[in-house]
Amino acid sequence: MDTFVIDGGRRLEGSIRVFGAKNAALPLMAAALLTDQPLVFEDVPDLADIRNMTRLLAELGCPPADAPPGSRRVTLQTVDPSQNHARYDIVKTMRASICALGPTLASRGEARVAMPGGCLIGDRPVDLHLRGLRALGAEITLENGDIVARAPGGRLKGARIFLGGNFGSTVLGTANVLSAATLASGTTVIESAACEPEIVDLARLLTSMGAKIRGAGSPRITVEGVEQLGGATHTVMPDRIEAGTLICAAAITNSVLTIENCPIDSLMAVTDRLRVSGVHVETLSEDGPDRATCRVSSERVLKPIEVTTQPFPGFPTDLQAQLLALLCLSDGNSVVTEKIFPERFMHVPELARMGARMHREGATVVVSGVRRLRGAPVMASDLRASASLVLAGLAAEGTTVVQRVYHLDRGYEQLETRLQALGASIRRVDEADL
């Protein structure tokens, strides 16, 4: 099993480009099930989850075309619409397989997708996805652990749907219902839709395929169903969570870094909170819609802050763990509350092994800043928790060994080589060789 060995305490220096967003790419790729024309995606990150999604789509009769190595291009085209079973073997490796449900059902009249299980960040139910699809007329049953959905007469029907739940809206649930509604008959209005930029990116793709969508990015999305959708070429939006992680990497090492292809508009809640703490993100140039070249710098001593994670445009849960690592080194008591996944604190006991002082009370953690963290062997548990341990390792005195980095590899492409290029001492080692 791979581990990272990090010798901390080095300043980072230079420029790094943010790659396309995994969480945008997964529902975008699933939209290839909605048409028999090719979809061409640019700037797709090379990650395990993307490879799993490609494998799943191939099983659903929508294989990838060959692409030149390193091109970051993925072309998908449905050639066999008779396949509609997303098997548990794949779904268990990647919860986002649920993205296949709405598009398969809408285009083929029937879908069978293995029910995803829970994961380390919580239970992660899919009731809202099913509620939305049922409102579009789908008949849904659970058979042998599979969600089996059928559209009576082969086509879904537009409807007014409320998609809010106890923890706000649902990002992938909105993606599923939005994608399905594009081919439904009549008009669909999704109320309490997720406003995340990844939903806006999906709506952009669907619109270029011929869908009629208004309001994406707001809590009310209106879709006029069309008979069929066509092909499109689409560049995946830059990864706001990767960008936020890199901003934290600069701040925790007290470095000045240039971040290219940074989706700065999607990071408002993050840059706003960080500014209060003493981390400054300055736009050097605007290179396209929500793509900028930014410089990150920070004050020597960071101030403590209060942060609550919320659905977009609030502070993202996917940056909570990384922020917590940063606040371990601030001067005073910070309070971090997790409102999306209240159990998402697997990194807390690991950071404590490095000398962090934290007190957790339910979904809130009080962080009492310390002057220094000390390297230690720590265990990655989920994707973002792993990133927070890497950040802590970059700042800590001595050597940190982060075990089980396969979690990290699901969402960060070649993080260690990219950090090395900025001057970090971080290397990938097989655990057996330590």
Residues that bind ligand EPU (CB under 6 A): 23, 26, 96, 122, 124-129, 165, 167, 170-173, 317-318, 340-341, 383-384, 411
CB 328 within 8 A of CB 369: yes
Residue 95 or 157 with smaller CB distance to ligand EPU: 95
CB count within 10 Å of CB 89 equals 11
Cβ at position 265, least distance to ligand EPU in Å: 17
CB 384 within 8 A of CB 391: no
3-state secondary structure of 146: strand
3-state secondary structure of 401: strand
What are the residues whose beta carbons fall under 8 Å from the beta carbon of 180, sequence distance 6 or more? Answer: 102, 103, 105, 106, 132, 133, 136, 156
CB 25 within 8 A of CB 410: no
Residue 109 or 173 with smaller CB distance to ligand EPU: 173
248 is catalytic: no
Cβ at position 346, least distance to ligand EPU in Å: 12
Residue 273 or 374 with smaller CB distance to ligand EPU: 273
CB 35 within 8 A of CB 79: no
The closest of 423, 432, 425, 385 to 405, measured between CA atoms, is 385
75-to-34, 97, 295 alpha-carbon distances in Å? 14, 18, 34
Separation CA 15–CA 226 (nearest Å):
44
Cβ at position 219, least distance to ligand EPU in Å: 13
Question: Of 62, 99, 119, 262, which residue is the catalytic one?
Answer: 119
Cβ at position 427, least distance to ligand EPU in Å: 24
23-to-194, 246, 284, 351, 402 alpha-carbon distances in Å? 13, 17, 26, 26, 24
Residue 99 or 148 with smaller CB distance to ligand EPU: 99
Residue 126 or 395 with smaller CB distance to ligand EPU: 126
Residue 23 or 400 with smaller CB distance to ligand EPU: 23
Residue 174 or 330 with smaller CB distance to ligand EPU: 174
235-to-39, 63, 216, 365, 402 alpha-carbon distances in Å? 11, 19, 18, 38, 33
Cβ at position 131, least distance to ligand EPU in Å: 7
The β-bridge relationship of strands 74-76 and 39-42 is antiparallel
Cβ at position 382, least distance to ligand EPU in Å: 7
**Exposed, middle or buried, 205 (CB in 10 Å: 0-12/13-18/19+)?**
buried
Cβ at position 247, least distance to ligand EPU in Å: 16
Active site residues: 119
